A and B are shown apart, each in its own frame.
Chain A
Amino acid sequence: MFRFIIKRASLIIPTFLGVTFLSFMLIRLVPGDPIEVRVGERGISPERLAELRHEYGLDQPLWKQFLDYEGDVVTGNLGVSVVTKETVWNEFTTLFPATLELALAAIVFATAIGLPLGVIAAVRRGSPLDYGLMGVSVTGASMPIFWWGLMLILIFSVSLGWTPVSGRISAQYYIEPTTGFLLIDSLMSDDEGAFWSALRYLILPTVVLGTIPLAVIARMTRSAMLEVLNEDYIRTARAKGLSVARVVGVHALRNALIPVVTVIGLQVGALLSGAILTERIFSWPGVGSWLLASIERRDYPVLQGGVLLIASLVMLVNFSVDLTYGLLNPRIRR
């Protein structure tokens, strides 16, 4: 087991280096630097441009900029936003709870709906219900998030008025961020309506962000269930005269869950990338819309630091999934 951990952990270092390199290079391949995008129609004098370039170290050769950046990262310094002059770390920690709250809600939603759907489809294999569910699931997996979000807003918020359009809480509530998780902060506040308001604002973004993972989970559950349902011990269980609910719910589902749990873990990456668009549509103040804005503004430090932090999180989750899996299934360890 120890060798397994070392093997997995040693993979993290090159990945980490790759991420820093890619995030550093990709944003620089996009034309226009942080100073140029801020200059309007007026233009900027060559002297001032040179001065600002120097201030941000953009006048250095690229390899030197990269080495400086790596040096800073290793010492835990992610730099300062070019736009707001705040440290990247501070901005990230301010905004990340919102993303985490949304991502957790989405994964709970996706699992709560996707798992039962997959089970139903597997049990009713080949029936119109199965085809219907899996058709919906394929549609869900390929849904363009932006379009889907706007559609839901138009239907549920504008036409029906059931849900709020966008934001995290109604403007009338004034909640001081303590944990950064608004559901918790609003519960702790004296205002009883605040929690319900926050919950209402969470519905649509959760559905939108949860749609793709839901589809993936449903399909994975279905195929895992189908495999298990063909096993001999299921036939034995049925032959014993157990109820369908017991056969499916206890004997089959429990065994089918192993690959499903892995898939849920692996959705973290998908959730964080989906969060970028979802947050933009729903004006959700998380790291997704922050990263998007940093691309528009060519805020190099924010983009590099943000991508690095998110990539580290994904790596951490994947690493933990690997480890858990290794614990559950001794065959993997070798």
Chain B
Amino acid sequence: MRVPNFAAACALLVFGTAAGIAAAPTEAAAKTLVYCSEGSPENFNPQINTTGTSFDASKPIYNRLVEFKLGSTEVGPGLAESWTVSPDGKTFTFKLRKGVKWQSNANFKPTRDFDADDVLFSFNRMWKDDNPYHKVSGGAYDYFSDMSMPALLESIDKVDAYTVKFVLKEPQAPFIANMAMDFATILSGEYADVLLKKGKPELIDQDPIGTGPFSFVQYQKDATIRYKAFPGYWGKKPKIDGLVFSITKDPAVRLAKLRANECQIIPFPNLADLPSIKEDKSLTMQSQAGLNIGYMAFNTQKKPFDDKRVRQAINMAIDKKAILDAVYQGAGTPAKNLIPPTMWSYNDTIKDYPYDPAAAKKLLAEAGVPDGFETDLWAMPVQRPYNPNAKRIGELMQSDLAKIGIKANIVSFEWGEYRKRAQAGEHQMAQLGWTGDNGDPDNFFNVLAGCTSARAGGSNIAKWCNKDFDKLVTDAVKISDQKERAKLYSQAQVIMHDEAPFFLIAHSQVFLPMRKEVTGYKMSPFGTHQFDEVELK
């Protein structure tokens, strides 16, 4: 029997068309850089954003008063050319840059350059309830309040068109680093007025206007974000004409797109793919120690962890190197201090506890628990930037602890629940970690180990409150001289090492694979992605 003709014809038609289309020439990217971003932004205003993905999407458009220098945690001039701090450390005066142009779009043609009014608008929107924009787009300014700005700010005043004065209620050295964070982005006050008159204030967060190197062109929801180089940019002109974020949520697909040159830079590769990326001759990869720490905290308010000898013993009983090898697979630096080695004030003279089960057993005996004890050991249910697999780490710890007689039971909860319970202090031992916000040591020491955050529900899950340590750390924020501050933090690290409220695991390495044609990219220690100086060969 013959195969019916029409069936064959149908099949031929479909395959034929497919083949024909497949043979069409592949399109060449001109001077447009495509970045395969990992997700969709919430909107285009970092004041109300909460995720790194959203910050990345806003970054090309805007500037801040001061900026982190590309690739470092050091703060340099931005829209403010210079600034001074009063002797009492409470008044910060910013001299604004002149001749800074605003971008334009269909709704807005700027009539004036950037000035003090824009600074006032940007901060008052977040700070003042009576600002007409305060409630726009939900009115939640999470980072502004997380960095304690409402409690800290006394006043913000326009001295003249190009001078702005911030007065604080108490001296706060990290304030200047806070001003370089994404939430401190400067928006156009004039654009805000125009939109308010048109009755569409929410557009300020969706169709953004900034002073940055790229202006916003279009966002196709969940698909692409387009930017073009802004010819009026006050800083170094970008070396690419266009920038596209191609939203690609799956890491394996991102890598496939990079290999096919559909994008030129991808974030967050799968760790398992790293060897094959290194082998691929058309790709390069940058990497850097992340601004983070993964740790296991002892609940120092519960027995037997209130005895520092027990905490020290566990620090010696766990084979850190084995964890680094098995779980981080070369993508981590062993941690001996709470802050990563890239951060100023890192105390490198501290020697980490050696892996020494015999000594650990001896310490346990001294602490009055020679036969060990039973404890829980919490492991997060999710992968975090600082800890790729908490459950696996938990298992490795469990077997090490068994050798000195400690029976650890691994416990986990859904992620939100986990964090809440750990912060409430329900655990005995719990893994967690931290990613820094502003590159200031205070953002680690105070947040993770200070007495104020040791309260129930606070972010210090060791619930450790050491008066000497806390005094050093709280004193350090009242001094504006960085060298003096570094000395105090250095001492604080000695105390923390001796007291051992944590088993410090690792600072994870961040990887950024890219095409060989990409040059001039500098990785940010904050884990954000910036394309100001990127070039395409």
Chain A interfacial positions (CB closer than 8 Å to B): 30-33, 36-43, 45-46, 48, 52, 83-85, 91, 94-95, 98, 109, 112-113, 115-117, 119-120, 123-124, 150, 153-154, 156-158, 161-168, 170-172, 174, 176-177, 193, 196-197, 199-200, 203, 244-245, 248-249, 280-283, 285-286, 289-290, 293
The answer to whether B256 touches A249, judged by C-beta atoms less than 8 angstroms apart, is no
**Residues of chain B contacted by A109 (CB below 8 angstroms):** 14
**14 additional A-B residue pairs with CB within 8 Å, beyond A43-B457, A170-B27:** A32-B416, A33-B416, A36-B417, A43-B423, A84-B43, A85-B202, A156-B22, A166-B253, A172-B30, A176-B218, A196-B21, A196-B24, A200-B21, A245-B5
B244 interfacial by beta-carbon distance below 8 Å: yes
**Given A112-B14, A171-B262, A172-B27, A285 and B222 touching (CB < 8 A)?**
yes
B374 interfacial by beta-carbon distance below 8 Å: no
B275 interfacial by beta-carbon distance below 8 Å: no
The answer to whether A95 touches B222, judged by C-beta atoms less than 8 angstroms apart, is yes
The answer to whether B416 touches A285, judged by C-beta atoms less than 8 angstroms apart, is no
Which residue of chain B is the closest to A207 with respect to CB atoms? Answer: B18
The answer to whether A203 touches B262, judged by C-beta atoms less than 8 angstroms apart, is no
- Our pick among A48, A94, A119, A200 for the contact of B22 (Cβ within 8 Å) is A200
Q: List 20 contacting pairs A-B, 8 Å CB cutoff, sorted by A.
A: A33-B416, A36-B416, A37-B416, A39-B416, A48-B145, A52-B140, A116-B6, A116-B11, A120-B7, A150-B252, A153-B253, A157-B260, A158-B259, A162-B22, A166-B253, A171-B263, A172-B32, A176-B218, A203-B22, A244-B1
Question: Shortest distance in angstroms between B137's beta carbon and chain A's nearest beta carbon?
Answer: 5
**Complexed CA–CA distance, A95 and B260 (Å):** 26
Decide if the interface of chain B is mainly helix, strand, loop or mixed: mixed
The answer to whether B256 touches A165, judged by C-beta atoms less than 8 angstroms apart, is yes
Chain B interfacial positions (CB closer than 8 Å to A): 1-8, 10-11, 13-14, 18, 21-22, 24, 26-30, 32, 34, 39-40, 42-43, 50, 137-138, 140, 142, 145-146, 202, 217-218, 220-224, 226, 244, 246-250, 252-253, 256-257, 259-260, 262-263, 413-417, 419-420, 423, 432-435, 447, 457-459
**Residues of chain B contacted by A84 (CB below 8 angstroms):** 42-43
**Residues of chain A contacted by B4 (CB below 8 angstroms):** 116, 119-120, 123, 244-245, 248-249
**Residues of chain A contacted by B256 (CB below 8 angstroms):** 153-154, 157-158, 165-166
**Residues of chain A contacted by B459 (CB below 8 angstroms):** 41-43
Which residue of chain B is the closest to A37 with respect to CB atoms? Answer: B416
**Complexed CA–CA distance, A167 and B249 (Å):** 11
The answer to whether A285 touches B420, judged by C-beta atoms less than 8 angstroms apart, is no
**Complexed CA–CA distance, A153 and B257 (Å):** 9
**Residues of chain A contacted by B32 (CB below 8 angstroms):** 171-172
The answer to whether A163 touches B1, judged by C-beta atoms less than 8 angstroms apart, is no
Question: Shortest distance in angstroms between A167's beta carbon and chain B's nearest beta carbon?
Answer: 6
Interface centre among A41, A163, A199, A244 (most CB of B within 10 A): A41
The answer to whether B137 touches A116, judged by C-beta atoms less than 8 angstroms apart, is no
**Complexed CA–CA distance, A293 and B249 (Å):** 10
The answer to whether B434 touches A112, judged by C-beta atoms less than 8 angstroms apart, is no
**Complexed CA–CA distance, A167 and B247 (Å):** 8
Question: Shortest distance in angstroms between A149's beta carbon and chain B's nearest beta carbon?
Answer: 8
Question: Shortest distance in angstroms between A280's beta carbon and chain B's nearest beta carbon?
Answer: 6
The answer to whether A193 touches B8, judged by C-beta atoms less than 8 angstroms apart, is no
**Residues of chain A contacted by B218 (CB below 8 angstroms):** 174, 176
Which residue of chain A is the closest to B221 with respect to CB atoms? Answer: A94
Which residue of chain A is the closest to B17 with respect to CB atoms? Answer: A199
The answer to whether A281 touches B22, judged by C-beta atoms less than 8 angstroms apart, is no
- Our pick among B14, B27, B458 for the contact of A113 (Cβ within 8 Å) is B14
The answer to whether B14 touches A42, judged by C-beta atoms less than 8 angstroms apart, is no
**Residues of chain A contacted by B223 (CB below 8 angstroms):** 98, 167-168, 283, 285
- Our pick among B10, B13, B137, B415 for the contact of A37 (Cβ within 8 Å) is B415
**Complexed CA–CA distance, A177 and B13 (Å):** 30
- Our pick among A40, A112, A168 for the contact of B10 (Cβ within 8 Å) is A112
